[in-house]
Amino acid sequence: MDAEFFVLLGFIVFVAVLYRFGAHKLVLSGLDARGKAIADELAQASKLRQEAQSLLASFDKKRAEAEAQAAGIIAEAQAEAQRLAEDAAKRMDEFIVRRTAQAESKIALAEAQATAEVRGAAADHATRAAEILLTAAAQGPAGADLLTQEIGALKSRLN
């Protein structure tokens, strides 16, 4: 009987005492509880992963919808801008036509007024020249008669 035998005997007695007091049940229940906790954590992690994937898919869907909506808004804005540009060009053309017509009517009116003024001035100068010539040419009673007669005839011709 050497020391190794007593160590073996002490170990066997120690294990028997632990078995007798239910230490093996305590160890097994601790291991079972630890295994269950790990399994619960794995299940929860799996559940969280599925939730995260569904949330990511939801965000991807919302992002795609937002991008599509933004593209629609941009296309609508471009169409509106194009329509406004065409409308502005049309209004500008109408404005130019209207202003051109106004300018042409003002020019025609000015031409008519200028023509009337020139005719009036010419008539006045012609009358004045005729008066001067006739006054110089006709002196005396016969000239006065002729002068009166011609001035009357000139007034009727000008009207």
pLDDT in tens, 67-78: 999 999 999 999
At 129 the pLDDT is: 85
Mean pLDDT of the residues in the chain: 89
Give yes or no for a contact between 158 and 123, defined as CB atoms under 8 angstroms apart.
Answer: yes
Answer whether residue 54 is part of any domain: yes
Answer whether residue 34 is part of any domain: yes
At 101 the pLDDT is: 95
Query: Which of 8-12, 54-58, 130-134 is the least confident region?
Result: 130-134
Range of the domain at 127: 20-158
Give yes or no for a contact between 147 and 134, defined as CB atoms under 8 angstroms apart.
Answer: yes
Answer whether residue 8 is part of any domain: no
Answer whether residue 10 is part of any domain: no
Quickly state the pLDDT bin for 140 (edges 50, 70, 90): low
Helices (H), the chain: 3-20, 23-137, 141-158
The length of the chain, given as a count of residues: 159
Answer whether residue 1 is part of any domain: no
Give yes or no for a contact between 124 and 133, defined as CB atoms under 8 angstroms apart.
Answer: no
Answer whether residue 3 is part of any domain: no
Could you report the per-residue pLDDT of 100-121, keeping only the tens digit for each? 999 999 999 999 999 999 988 8
Answer whether residue 115 is part of any domain: yes
Answer whether residue 80 is part of any domain: yes
Q: How many domains is the chain partitioned into structurally?
A: 1
